[in-house]
């Protein structure tokens, strides 16, 4: 199920299903709102986005109220998570999935929001989006790439290519441009060559693994699995999280793997990543592509969860085509 494409004049609702927007700096909120409004969208906010407790979130009831209200409101066409965090999976048991199925909307976020993008897709069939938070629209570097990918995913009906950013950054969003150190990105990192097609399933790996054994975990049959981790991860934890998902009964249905660029503090090097992948017999014969621009570095692309993707590698070049 594909929600209506977003159009200028549409209302976009910002909610905080994980961490409160109270932690986002005021200037970042202001810039994000200005940019979305410049695209022609009307930005509104859930009643409880600024509420917070000692865990920098708010009650399950408050977060559910904002989530359900956004899907139920006929004027709202798109929903953005304010930011990430740790608490999104607290909501899964209490979400009215029938309400969502009756009112399909564009729903987008990343990292901890994986719990929601994956569960909503699995329970309703609604394609969700692993992409920018509302706060992401307040970044100072990489906005053009973020915006281009976001608009291709949520306003476009035609197939499009997921292309690499020419540069990347792992530094905090609030640094001035002149102070920022940019890394050059020479395309994607090919660990295993090959060709594959399948449905895009994934998100933050450790969050996705929280869904194992529950009714919220999407099937991996005929999937292109995309995974990423933040700086709290390291080589050994990534290895065991990946091994865990590869031991699922339907993991044999994985046709290819896309891996988001690691943050430098994770100390996961390209050499180390290759060794981890090469040691897994389950991945023999399928394409594995790393340094894809989604996750916790900047800039980030938008990946539609449930959309068909086609991956081809030829002469050290990668093409990733997405069909909404």
- Domain CATH number, residue 319: 3.50.30.60
Residues 134 and 204 grouped into a single domain: no
On whether residue 143 sits in a domain, the answer given is: no
Query: In 3D, which of 268, 193, 197, 281 has the Cα closest to residue 228?
Result: 268
Is the same domain home to 166 and 286? yes
Secondary structure of the chain: what % helix, strand, coil (to 5)?
A: 35, 25, 40
Count how many domains the chain has: 2
List, in order, residues 6 or more apart from 102 with CB less than 8 Å away. Answer: none
Residues 73 and 166 in one domain: no
Q: For residue 153, is it within any domain?
A: no
The CA–CA distances, whole Å, from 78 to 73, 212, 312 equal 11, 28, 32
Tens digits of pLDDT across the chain (324 residues)? 999 999 999 999 999 999 998 888 888 899 999 999 999 999 999 999 998 887 778 999 999 999 999 999 999 999 999 999 999 999 999 999 999 999 999 999 999 999 999 999 999 999 999 999 999 998 877 889 999 999 999 999 899 999 999 888 886 655 544 566 777 888 899 999 999 999 999 999 999 999 999 999 999 999 999 999 988 888 899 999 999 999 999 999 999 999 999 888 888 888 999 999 999 999 999 999 999 999 888 889 999 999 999 999 987 899 999 998
Label residues 58-83 b or e (16+ Cβ within 10 Å = b).
beeebbbbbbbebbeeeebbbbbbbb
Is 101 strand, coil or helix? helix
* Structure token digits, residue 50: 């600024």
> If residue 301 lies in a helix (H) or strand (E), which one and from where to where?
none
Domain co-membership, 119 together with 224: no
Q: Which residues, 6 or more positions from 212, have their beta carbon under 8 angstroms from its beta carbon?
A: 244, 245, 248
Q: What is the largest CA-CA distance in the chain?
A: 53
Q: In this structure, are strands 288-292 and 303-305 parallel, antiparallel, or unpaired? A: unpaired
In a domain, 156, yes or no: no
Which residues are paired to 298 by β-bridges? 169
Euclidean distance between CA atoms 302 and 129, whole angstroms: 6
Cα–Cα distance for residue pair 274/290, rounded to 1 Å: 9
Q: Same structural domain for residues 127 and 169?
A: no
CATH number of the domain where residue 43 is located:
3.40.50.10740
Alpha-carbon distance of 93 to 87, in angstroms, equals 13
Closest CA to 323 of 202, 164, 127, 157: 157
Residues 133, 240 share a domain:
no
Neighbours of 212 (CB within 10 A): 12
CB-based contacts of 46, cutoff 8 Å, min separation 6: 13, 14, 15, 16, 65, 66, 67, 69, 70
Pair 118, 192 in one domain: no
Domain range for 51: 11-138
Residues 75 and 168 in one domain: no
């Amino acid at each position: 199920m594909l929600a209506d494409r977003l159009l200028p004049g549409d209302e976009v609702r910002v909610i905080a299903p994980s961490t409160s927007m109270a932690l986002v700096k005021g200037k970042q909120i202001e810039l994000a709102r200005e940019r979305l409004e410049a695209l022609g969208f009307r930005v509104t906010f859930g009643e409880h986005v600024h509420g917070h407790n000692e865990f920098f979130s708010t009650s399950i009831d408050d977060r559910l109220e904002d989530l359900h209200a956004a899907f139920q409101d006929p004027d709202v066409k798109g929903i953005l998570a304010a930011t990430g965090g740790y608490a999104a999976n607290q909501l899964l048991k209490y979400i009215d999935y029938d309400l969502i199925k009756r009112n399909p909307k564009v729903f987008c976020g990343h990292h901890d929001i994986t719990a929601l993008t994956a569960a909503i897709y699995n329970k309703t069939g609604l394609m969700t989006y692993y992409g920018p938070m509302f706060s992401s629209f307040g970044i100072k570097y990489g906005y053009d790439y973020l915006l281009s990918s976001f608009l291709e995913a949520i306003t476009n009906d035609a197939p499009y290519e997921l292309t690499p950013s020419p540069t990347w950054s792992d530094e905090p969003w609030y640094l001035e441009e002149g102070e920022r150190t940019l890394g050059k990105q020479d395309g994607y990192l090919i660990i295993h060559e090959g060709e594959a097609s399948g449905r895009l399933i994934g998100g933050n790996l450790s969050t996705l693994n929280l869904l194992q054994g529950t009714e919220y975990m999407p099937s991996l049959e005929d999937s292109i699995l995309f995974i990423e981790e933040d700086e709290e991860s390291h080589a050994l934890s990534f290895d065991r999280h990946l091994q865990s998902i590869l031991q699922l009964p339907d993991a044999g249905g994985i046709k290819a793997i896309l891996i988001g660029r690691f943050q430098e503090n994770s100390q996961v090097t390209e050499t180390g990543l290759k060794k981890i992948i090469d040691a897994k017999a389950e991945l023999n014969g399928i394409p594995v592509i790393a340094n894809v621009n989604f996750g916790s570095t900047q800039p980030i692309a938008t990946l539609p969860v449930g959309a068909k993707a086609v991956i081809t590698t030829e002469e050290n070049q990668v093409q990733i085509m997405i069909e909404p």
